[in-house]
Structure 1
């Protein structure tokens, strides 16, 4: 199957936008990853920022140092180069989640007038919309397979991720009709086919499924997993959600407050070609790498 042609457009005088694909897919992400890595390696004078997204990337440049057409020509020259971008040295990360917790529940109940189905909670709505008989089955489906972080943004440290399952198994649920003015920090949310973790308290429109006690953004860098950066997640990370109860939530919260919580992570070399050849076996390998010493 031939690759989709990349669509380019300029945003004002200082931005070049490249749409790799109209829909998110791992091949589209890896194609964008390869091109942005190659562009960074060129160290072109005048290129200020290169931002990779789900199935696109954007470049901010100084037009006084590099003309728009020269930059466009340089980027287009990278389209057909092929290196080792089907490999990605990344991390597998276990994120504990207290599903159906009282804090997101209290918040979502305050905003039922902005919801498609005011008589249901967000979990009940998502479960029924995706064909699950109850929220327990939905939570199992949400936490069973790993998720791939395809971009980080919107607010500092917020990861956008999609579940590594066949398209017909993808969880899909629309955002609120009107965004909320409040979302608790570290809420695990979902909108469209993308999951996220709200890194800070604030406005939001994704359905709220639960919360994690683990901070993913910390300007003070007080946690061991945030010593190297105030933002934890990186594009390419693989996330496995693990359901926890109120008791374990409290235990982890205490460890976080003491600066003693150690996030469970494993280094992993992800091979796109091997994953596409046999997704289920490869996901089993991911889980083995995460949980087997």
Structure 2
């Protein structure tokens, strides 16, 4: 059985309406899963006066109404939940497995990155060529395989509306590590699949950015008008805890997906899944293989 030691959280006040809780100083799947377990437990109890619950990479924040719930009462509740959750090794997270199609080395991010080579560590290579080289891979095909074959867990959603930060579900010595640009770009195409440090992301809107650009997805992940069927309940698609499988596609497949988006019929493929940390830590590759079979099932 795999066990994990939990560390005592650090609690701090954010003005009169927020409590910020730091569970660990550095990001790890264990720390993030504790944040998921604690915030899920708090959401299930949802005492009157708690307004918002926001999990993050290795922390979480709660917004509350101090006229409804006494701040120190809430603080003690959070400490009690932390003790109950412990290392979260037995916690089961009800989540989804989501398939995101990606056109790697697409023309739009390629054109964009060429405009910002003076911001980059390697002005003579594309972002994905640079990422492959510093990760000890022979070419971009090998890098794309490593990026797309293993799933990623959505550790938090934010920074801009609907943008998911994702952590690769592989042993630490196999995680893809790529630094951000030396200086941020002023432009990034919408729905760019990016990477900075150990984190993957998908840019939900066009704008500035500093992550390396590997490709684009035709799948909208932010729909402020809630016009597409995946957005009936929310403006944003991703939720913390979503497990993501990137699937490489070619240009013809990309164009077909775009037509479906324009027709208002496009759906992101997803399946419900209950994720537990212990079996994953005991056998990451075997667990991932079995988990992805759920996505392939009809």
TM-score bracket, shorter-length normalisation: over 0.9
Query: Per the alignment, do residues 89 and 44 of structure 1 end up closer, same or farther by CA in structure 2, a change over 3 Å counting?
Result: closer
1:162 equivalent in structure 2: 167
The alignment status of 1:7 with 2:10, answered yes or no, reads: yes
- Map of 1:13-92 to 2, 5 A cutoff? 13-82=16-85, 86-92=91-97
TM (normalized to structure 1)?
Answer: 0.94
- Map of 1:269-288 to 2, 5 A cutoff? 269-288=274-293
What is the deviation of 1:53?
A: 0.7
1:202 equivalent in structure 2: 207
* Aligned counterparts of 1:77 and 1:269: Cα–Cα separation in 2: 24
* Aligned counterparts of 2:140 and 2:297: Cα–Cα separation in 1: 29
* Aligned counterparts of 1:120 and 1:8: Cα–Cα separation in 2: 44
Query: Per the alignment, do residues 227 and 62 of structure 1 end up closer, same or farther by CA in structure 2, a change over 3 Å counting?
Result: closer
RMSD over aligned Cα, in angstroms?
1.8
Structure 2: stretches of 5+ with no match in the other structure = none
* Aligned counterparts of 2:49 and 2:268: Cα–Cα separation in 1: 39
Deviation string 1:205-264 (CA, Å, 9 cap, x unpaired) is 111000001111112222222222221111111111111111111111111111122322
1:102 equivalent in structure 2: 107
The alignment status of 1:181 with 2:186, answered yes or no, reads: yes
What is the deviation of 1:29?
A: 2.1
What is the deviation of 1:85?
A: 6.1
Name the SS for the 2:61 alignment partner. strand
What is the deviation of 1:14?
A: 2.7
- Asked whether the equivalents of residues 162 and 193 of structure 1 are also in contact (C-alpha less than 8 Å), the reply is yes
1:248 equivalent in structure 2: 253
Name the SS for the 1:96 alignment partner. strand
- Asked whether the equivalents of residues 31 and 85 of structure 1 are also in contact (C-alpha less than 8 Å), the reply is no
Total equivalences in the alignment: 293
- Asked whether the equivalents of residues 9 and 22 of structure 2 are also in contact (C-alpha less than 8 Å), the reply is yes
Query: Per the alignment, do residues 4 and 110 of structure 1 end up closer, same or farther by CA in structure 2, a change over 3 Å counting?
Result: same
Name the SS for the 2:84 alignment partner. coil
Deviation string 1:21-73 (CA, Å, 9 cap, x unpaired) is 12223332222222223333443344322111111001123344445433322
Query: Per the alignment, do residues 56 and 85 of structure 1 end up closer, same or farther by CA in structure 2, a change over 3 Å counting?
Result: farther
